[in-house]
Structure 1
Amino acid sequence: MSDPAAHQAAERAARESYGRLLAILSARTHDIAASEDALSDAFARALERWPVDGIPDKPDAWLLSVARHRKLDAWRHTRVQDKATQTLLLLAGEADQADAEGATVPDERLRLLFVCAHPAIDAPARAPLMLQTVLGLDAARMAGAFLTAPSTLGQRLVRAKARIRAAGIPFEYPQPRDLPQRLQDVLDGIYAAYGTGWEDVDGADALPRGLTAEAIDLGRILCHLMPDEPEPLGLLALMLFCESRTAARRSDTGAYVPLDQQDITRWNHELLAQAEHHLRQASTMGALGAYQLEAAIQSAHCERRAGAPVPPETLVALYNGLLALRPSIGAQVSRACALANARGPDVGLQALDAIPADEVTNYQPFWAARAHLLAAGGVRAAARQAYDRAIGLSANAAVRSYLGAMAQRL
């Protein structure tokens, strides 16, 4: 039986509650993989039963109860009776009673993010593990964001989950002495989630489209949890600056519109005000971080709405500071563009050429920037080749169309 309302309810629960449910299921056993399997079974069961029985009043609680009992059935079948199992058996009864009394499912996403940031887990696996466990993304969807083959990323995730269970990594917030390292990884995971949702990928499913809102929500919760830490405020400001321009990224016909050509009347000025507030608040705490600098760069890009654009050399200085704190390929490419605006395309091209070639072979922003600067310098043949490379590496039809139009103008 097909019931669109039931399917929509299941999709909404997956989009809004996957991370919370997985965190609760994993918290006592430390077995994320088994919890994922149980939750997957629960969603499959929902698609079978909700069209027949109706959508439950509390879909999250229904899914949690079914997943929890699937885990218990699996343990009984394998006759695994460790301490964690016995604890879960007791909690299952208590939780079912609480569900019956109308309790809501608590938000445990941040706790799970800190688990994924544990130093016992390999550093390259931490942010992808956060995106998979808290947001439900698969390796294929995430691979491009981490410049890694899906198979390689999948293997990292499997090893990371096994490590959590084998090492008995506690599902708790870190001690103050452990906070700096763990917090940086959590911030990176949240920003990776935002970036994954921000990118329009042809053929992508509906789930990632709500990632930007969820990442911002996590950012707000983290700021509330750690009010004396400036970098969560910097990250929240950065995401809000970007989010404020969402409506201006496409024309009425769906065409891609670059930042410097966007209609500022389509920007969300309430979100811009929030972003500026959080950035100013972070700046009073006396500890400059990379996310604060990135937010400051976005603030500078948005200043033209006040009729007072930031001098180009100021942007160069901000990128220099960002690279000093946290070098990255993206920041190097952006700095080259800032240099070109301040000192001419030849200077920008020199900065691009200074980046190791093997690090930008498949990095689309590098080739788009190179094509633009070559065209600005009148090197048309090389610019066309760079545009072709950028088009081939772009996952979005609107961006490909924009780059193709730029190439045709040559």
Structure 2
Amino acid sequence: MNVEAAVATTFRAEWARVVATLIRTTGDWDLAEECAQDAFTQALAKWPRDGVPARPGAWIVTTARNRAIDKLRRRSVEAVKLRQIALDLRHDEERAPDDPDDIEDDRLRLMFTCCHPALPLPARVALTLRTLAGLTTAETARACLVSEQTMAKRLVRGKEKIRHSQIPYRVPPAHLLPERLPGVLAVLYLLFNEGYTATTGADLLRPDLCAEAIRLVRLLARLMPDQPEVLGLNALMLLHHARRDARVSGAGELVPLAEQDRSSWQRGEIEEGIAVLESALDRGDVGPYQLQATIAACHATATSEADTDWAAIAHLYRRLAEVMPSPVVELNRAVAIAMAEGPAAGLALVDDLSAACKLDGYHLLPAVRADLLRRLSRWDEAAQAYQSALQLAATDTERKYLARRLAEIGADAG
């Protein structure tokens, strides 16, 4: 692995841990991000000369922490705080890194701070994607469907709110956990989705983000073992993540579910996901994450597309739309109905969504419409829809797939 690739890999794996650690030790969000970025810049300069360290993450944490200490010294921060940071550094170096049994996890504290109810939901999502996922401001803006300028202001306001309101950097006491839960689950869901289907860039998948979201939701399940929606989200993530090796071809092209090699799905993760889902459903309070996990389980346990119970999936999407109204849910329901009742039935629902302008700018709407028109042999309309989807698709992986489908339209029509 070359140095640039090693730095990129370390960034994806360690960004959240570095920032969370620095926030804990300095209490300064902007300083934490600045020093973390400086550490990765130093890695690009020093690792080609000195070699990639045996523990790249520890090197980054130490370098970032030392940079923070230097900056604090220049600000004439009191000696007590500097001594405490030095003690924290020695403590972190002595303890085992990333101990899964350590519930006092810096990233978990960071997640609950980002999701504090005093912050508006858009700020919670933005701060989590920026600090936990390591997205740039521009990437965070695209994930939230706002301009980069709007996102920059949102991030600044969120950090100022945390500072001025003195929101504590901690996992809240047990009696406050339930009121935080919906926001935390929503943010973890978005964090996983950014890893499952990236909003931009060359790669469709960011498995590191998916793994981090799964790790955090498992920690949350330990904190709140009787909350079925926590288990439901955990199951949903496991069942989706189990298909990661089959979702992109060797040529870097999206592989739709119907064409995936199901033998490459991670059966151990599927079995774990189903077991977690059954535990959640046994509690009797079925929410949107459990419904989505049940849909994922239908796919994960089917031996082929033909063996999939599409009628049951369509019914589950109808129930999901009742508890979590969303045009994206309706689009997924239209796909299931198309599989269960035929493409014409699904296309009618998709056209209703288009007419209502509920998903303008969302590339999967014209992509689904194109697929249904193709199945109906309406070649010219299908080609136009594929072209619309191509213009809106954000990742190279999806664009390659759509371009191939568009080329096939011409061959089929001929």
TM range (shorter): 0.7 to 0.9
Match of 1:354, SS state, is helix
Q: Which residue of 2 aligns with 1:178?
A: 176
**Which structure 2 residues correspond to residues 273-352 of structure 1 after superposition, within 5 A?**
273-305=271-303, 309-352=307-350
Q: Which residue identity lines up with residue 270 of structure 1 in the other structure?
A: G
Q: How many residues align?
A: 403
8 A contact 1:30–1:169 mirrored in 2: no
Q: 1:226 to 1:306 in 2, by over 3 A?
A: farther
Match of 1:359, SS state, is coil
Task: Work out the CA distance in 1 between the residues paired with 2:190 and 2:272.
Answer: 21
**2:384 maps to 1:391:** no
Q: 1:28 to 1:207 in 2, by over 3 A?
A: farther
Range that drifts further, 211-220 or 197-206: 197-206
- Post-superposition CA distance 1:30-49 (Å, at most 9, x none): 42112111222233334444
8 A contact 2:143–2:199 mirrored in 1: no
Task: Work out the CA distance in 2 between the residues paired with 1:256 and 1:204.
Answer: 12
Q: Which residue identity lines up with residue 276 of structure 1 in the other structure?
A: I
Q: Which residue of 2 aligns with 1:370?
A: 369
Give, in angstroms, the shift of residue 109 of structure 1: 0.8
Q: Which residue of 1 aligns with 2:406?
A: 404
Q: 1:20 to 1:363 in 2, by over 3 A?
A: same
**Which structure 2 residues correspond to residues 227-238 of structure 1 after superposition, within 5 A?**
227-238=225-236
8 A contact 2:197–2:205 mirrored in 1: no
TM-score by length of 2: 0.86
8 A contact 1:27–1:171 mirrored in 2: yes
Q: Could you tell me which of 19, 38, 61 is aligned with 1:22?
A: 19
**Which structure 2 residues correspond to residues 177-256 of structure 1 after superposition, within 5 A?**
177-199=175-197, 203-204=201-202, 208=206, 210-256=208-254
Give, in angstroms, the shift of residue 209 of structure 1: 5.0
Task: Work out the CA distance in 2 between the residues paired with 1:331 and 1:231.
Answer: 18
8 A contact 2:196–2:205 mirrored in 1: no
Q: 1:305 to 1:211 in 2, by over 3 A?
A: same
Match of 1:358, SS state, is coil
Give, in angstroms, the shift of residue 236 of structure 1: 1.9
Task: Work out the CA distance in 1 between the residues paired with 2:277 and 2:261.
Answer: 24
Q: 1:163 to 1:201 in 2, by over 3 A?
A: closer
Q: Which residue of 1 aligns with 2:65?
A: 68
Q: Could you tell me which of 38, 47, 52 is aligned with 1:41?
A: 38
Give, in angstroms, the shift of residue 205 of structure 1: 7.9
Task: Work out the CA distance in 1 between the residues paired with 2:299 and 2:92.
Answer: 48
8 A contact 1:255–1:402 mirrored in 2: no
Match of 2:357, SS state, is helix
Range that drifts further, 139-148 or 232-241: 139-148
Q: Which residue of 2 aligns with 1:95?
A: 88
8 A contact 2:366–2:386 mirrored in 1: yes
Give, in angstroms, the shift of residue 133 of structure 1: 0.6
Q: What percent identity do the matched residue pairs reach?
A: 36
Q: Could you tell me which of 99, 105, 108 is aligned with 2:106?
A: 108
TM-score by length of 1: 0.86
Listed as ranges, the gaps of 5+ residues in structure 1 are: none
Q: 1:69 to 1:285 in 2, by over 3 A?
A: same
Give, in angstroms, the shift of residue 247 of structure 1: 2.3
Range that drifts further, 92-101 or 152-161: 92-101
Q: Which residue identity lines up with residue 95 of structure 1 in the other structure?
A: D
Task: Work out the CA distance in 2 between the residues paired with 1:246 and 1:287.
Answer: 30
8 A contact 1:15–1:207 mirrored in 2: no
Give, in angstroms, the shift of residue 128 of structure 1: 2.5
8 A contact 1:370–1:383 mirrored in 2: yes
Task: Work out the CA distance in 2 between the residues paired with 1:310 and 1:133.
Answer: 39
Q: Which residue identity lines up with residue 168 of structure 2 in the other structure?
A: P
Listed as ranges, the gaps of 5+ residues in structure 2 are: 100-104
Q: 1:268 to 1:54 in 2, by over 3 A?
A: closer
Give, in angstroms, the shift of residue 114 of structure 1: 0.8
- Post-superposition CA distance 1:118-174 (Å, at most 9, x none): 122121121221121112111222333322223322221122112111211101123
